[in-house]
Structure 1
């Protein structure tokens, strides 16, 4: 499969120590087992993506890592600390930030106030410095600081959601469906930002995406989730070339 010349595949990297280790995780909604013994790893400095169809359990895994809902069985370890049963705000204080599916920004608050909310875990100590940083990453955010977040376009709201997560100075950034519902040009911009913060800042990223083509081009490694179970794993390049992945997730969508 050819790759457009304007976006290059990321290079393969060697693991530099585990940041996140998920082992045997089972999550339930009532009597329904949504995750069925999930195992995966995210290593220092990587972009790791989890792809799968709607309803596969991708967002459930992301939310389980962040403590809501909590895993009924299995373990989640972040930098050597067991976080499986920790509360979400305690997990955030360890250096994990999440940009959730559907953005979930505070629509009645200004963009500036949304970004302030991202600094709760570090008490706003670095607010001015970090505000300048996220505004340099997302110039459109700078233009909209005094605007109510609910009046922004979908792409602008996604930028605010990612910027808010970055305001906490995370060591691990969880991104849940950042391309959902966005125009192709905005999707390209969002993925370029993810690549840049990984390459320039060394940010470790765990990315949940339904847009498998873009996600696998971006990721160093990936996993495929089907009905709550990991069925395949490999480098982004390997999964892009895998006939089963191409048939299920890429045919007709590689653009």
Structure 2
């Protein structure tokens, strides 16, 4: 297994070249006796989009869930702004300006679009609700048209937009996105990735993206990591990883456009 040591950023440089916003050090996670993560090290600097790619079952979503405290890391550190959150309960982690849009969307199907968005403000309160509502409707105009529609009746793409918008209503400094393109038409995927790029460019939002669609993810990200069987095997800029033959053959064959 080869590794790329370069961390040069393609596109806008991170806002802070010093301490990363998120540092993962030696993290090990188990499901019972089965070890899913095997000493994972990773950094996400403020103002970056960082993506984690890998095959289905590599451990990508497990890492995302471990950051959020469920399951707990059995070993290692997860530092957010220098504070180790690895052993904190999930509700305490989510009060630290971290928001997640989970795999499978998990919106509230019986609630309206507006009620789902209100749920996103649970930890930050309603003080900026109107302002933040306008912001997410500007990002996702489709949601504005469906304000009073129940979440469960939306299309898959609209549900994904709602899941991301709900996360943004919590005013996060770090947005965790788990498989946002899963099961969606290419045109919807492009719209969603364009919004992520725009949020990063205009607001400096830091994004950690777990994604099976390696082509789109590496084009979007400043830096990327490759995970195989619970271990990080490669890292580099998005452009570097896109150009590596082993990445192309493993993750980009099959005509991603």
Normalised TM-score (structure 1): 0.95
Q: Which secondary structure does the structure 2 equivalent of 1:93 belong to?
A: coil
Residue 13 of structure 1 and its aligned partner are, at CA, apart by 2.3
Q: Which residue of 2 aligns with 1:250?
A: 252
Instruction: Name the CA distance, whole Å, in 2 between partners of 1:145 and 1:254.
Output: 33
Q: Which secondary structure does the structure 2 equivalent of 1:121 belong to?
A: coil
Instruction: Name the CA distance, whole Å, in 2 between partners of 1:84 and 1:99.
Output: 19
Per-residue CA deviation, residues 13-71 of structure 1 (Å, 9 max, x unaligned), is: 25533100000000010110000110000001000000000000000000000111110
Aligned-pair Cα RMSD in Å: 1.2
Instruction: Name the CA distance, whole Å, in 1 between partners of 2:124 and 2:78.
Output: 23
Q: Which secondary structure does the structure 2 equivalent of 1:254 belong to?
A: coil
- In the alignment, structure 1 segments of 5+ residues that lack a partner are 1-8
- In the alignment, structure 2 segments of 5+ residues that lack a partner are 1-8
1:7-26 paired onto structure 2 within 5 Å:
11=11, 13=13, 16-17=17-18, 18-26=20-28
Q: Which secondary structure does the structure 2 equivalent of 1:150 belong to?
A: helix
1:117-128 paired onto structure 2 within 5 Å:
117-128=119-130
Residue 138 of structure 1 and its aligned partner are, at CA, apart by 0.4
Equivalenced residue count is 247
Q: Which residue of 2 aligns with 1:63?
A: 65
Instruction: Name the CA distance, whole Å, in 2 between partners of 1:119 and 1:129.
Output: 12
Instruction: Name the CA distance, whole Å, in 2 between partners of 1:50 and 1:39.
Output: 12
Per-residue CA deviation, residues 154-175 of structure 1 (Å, 9 max, x unaligned), is: 0000000000000000000000
Per-residue CA deviation, residues 56-91 of structure 1 (Å, 9 max, x unaligned), is: 000000000011111000000000111001111211
Structure 1 stretches (4+) deviating beyond 3 angstroms? Answer: none
8 Å Cα contact 2:109/2:152 also seen in 1 = yes
1:28-47 paired onto structure 2 within 5 Å:
28-47=30-49
Instruction: Name the CA distance, whole Å, in 2 between partners of 1:151 and 1:111.
Output: 10
Instruction: Name the CA distance, whole Å, in 2 between partners of 1:73 and 1:106.
Output: 33
Per-residue CA deviation, residues 154-202 of structure 1 (Å, 9 max, x unaligned), is: 0000000000000000000000000000001000000000000000110
8 Å Cα contact 1:213/1:253 also seen in 2 = no
